[in-house]
Structure 1
Amino acid sequence: MVNGKVVSIPSFHCRINDVIEIKPKSTSQTVIKNNIENKRFGDIPTHLKFDESKLSGTVTNYCDRNELLLELDELLVIEYYSRK
């Protein structure tokens, strides 16, 4: 959920100060609680603020390119979509 509304679009663009959370009766809450207990996730990115008590995150800033864990050549993506 984003800002209290269900979002079903995987590529949804969040804005600064958007609150991202899980539906209250969702089975995903169990998965997230287990990940928090086992520390299976890495460091929380600097552009997000996570509230463990509410299991929600807030977008505080735009993502910095250096924080992405993907090796991505943006020019190849642009080239691919420009052919269509």
Structure 2
Amino acid sequence: MARNLDAKCRQCRREGEKLFLKGEKCFTDKCSVERRAYAPGQHGQKSGQRLSGYGTQLREKQKIRRIYGVLERQFRKVFGDAERKKGQTGENLLKLLEARLDTVAYRMGFGVSRAEARQVVRHNGVLINGRRVDIPSYNVRPGDVIQLLESTRGQLRTKAALEAAESRGFPAWLEVDVKAGKGIFKSYPAREDLPPSINEGLVVELYSR
């Protein structure tokens, strides 16, 4: 299966902001974005580099792909689905990305990062409405109950991830029972509930060229 093998911290530095790809490290002063707030590579510290309109749109698309851990072909498919739905394409895109099972599992604290939550899903550690699902891109729907298997919930790293997520608080569109290791996907998130640093309009402009 294809996957992005670039170093996680390098990806964050390339986008110039925290993408929260390394779990708890991103919340400490060890975060590479705070220690080296410039792009990687020998020319990373050069200032005054200006991007064209296309370059700005491309960088935003790459940033969103990296945040959600989605490859180009998958991203285009989700964008196509967003175009076919009623409403604004950009907002639909973010809602569909947030409804992916790996992202929902991450938001619920089943892993300290999306990559770890994706691994939990792939290893048959998650139930949806009582049925095992091992497809990270599975589209969770409002009302679905997502639950960890008892054996997975008992693992030390899973417990630590749940506790860390609980301490930071859960999104408004999720209802999570940390002790039971399960939660409900109540609804798709509203745009105001998602990071304002994401400019989905640039992606729509890019694909409209």
Inter-partner Cα distance in structure 1 for 2:172 and 2:203: 26
From the two aligned structures, give the one with the greater strand fraction: 1
Cα–Cα, structure 1 residues 70 and 32, in superposed 2: closer, same or farther, change >3 Å?
Answer: farther
Shift of 1:32: 2.8
Q: Normalized against structure 2, the TM-score is what?
A: 0.33
Q: Tell me which residue corresponds to 1:26.
A: 152
Unaligned runs of 5+ in 1: none
Q: Normalized against structure 1, the TM-score is what?
A: 0.69
Percent of aligned pairs sharing the same letter: 33
- Alignment match of 1:71 (pick from 171, 179, 197): 197
Unaligned runs of 5+ in 2: 1-126
Shift of 1:47: 0.8
Q: Tell me which residue corresponds to 1:15.
A: 141
Which 4+ stretches in 1 moved above 6 angstroms? Answer: none
Q: Tell me which residue corresponds to 1:60.
A: 186
Shift of 1:82: 5.4
- Deviations for 1:41-76, whole angstroms, at most 9, x for unmatched residues? 221111111112211011122211122237322233
Cα–Cα, structure 1 residues 68 and 26, in superposed 2: closer, same or farther, change >3 Å?
Answer: same
Larger relative contact order (C-alpha < 8 A, sep ≥ 6)?
1
Inter-partner Cα distance in structure 1 for 2:193 and 2:145: 20
Q: What residue identity is the alignment partner of 1:19?
A: V
Greater Cα offset, 27-36 or 58-67:
27-36
Inter-partner Cα distance in structure 2 for 1:17 and 1:50: 13
Inter-partner Cα distance in structure 1 for 2:190 and 2:201: 18
Q: Tell me which residue corresponds to 2:130.
A: 4
Q: What residue identity is the alignment partner of 1:7?
A: V
- Is the CA contact (8 Å cut-off) linking 1:22 and 1:29 kept in structure 2? no
Q: Looking at CA atoms only, which structure, 1 or 2, has the larger radius of gyration?
A: 2
Provide the alpha-carbon RMSD of the alignment: 2.6
Inter-partner Cα distance in structure 2 for 1:60 and 1:12: 16
Q: Give secondary structure in 2 for the equivalent of 1:21.
A: strand
Q: Give secondary structure in 2 for the equivalent of 1:9.
A: coil
Inter-partner Cα distance in structure 2 for 1:79 and 1:72: 14
Inter-partner Cα distance in structure 2 for 1:53 and 1:32: 12
Q: Give secondary structure in 2 for the equivalent of 1:26.
A: helix
- Is the CA contact (8 Å cut-off) linking 2:152 and 2:158 kept in structure 1? no
